[in-house]
Amino acid sequence: MSRPTATLYTRRHCHLCEEAAATLEAGGYAVEAVDIDADPELRARYGHAVPVVIIGGKERFRLRVDAVLLRRLRRNRG
Q: 7-38, pLDDT tens digit by residue?
A: 999 999 999 999 999 999 999 999 999 999 99
Instruction: Compute CA distances 35 → 44, 46, 67, 76, whole Å.
Output: 12, 11, 23, 29
Q: How confident is the model at residue 2 (pLDDT cuts 50, 70, 90)?
A: confident
Q: CA–CA separation, 18 vs 31, rounded Å?
A: 11
| Dihedral angle of Cα 2, 19, 8, 11, to the nearest 10 degrees | -140
Residue 78 has a pLDDT of 44
Q: CB of 5 within 8 A of CB of 32?
A: yes
The answer to whether residues 11 and 37 touch, using CB atoms and an 8 Å cutoff, is yes
Radius of gyration of the chain (CA): 12
Q: Give the global pTM.
A: 0.91
Tens-place pLDDT, residues 30-76: 999 999 999 999 999 999 999 999 999 999 999 999 999 999 998 88
| Contact call for residues 11 and 5 (beta carbons, < 8 A) | no
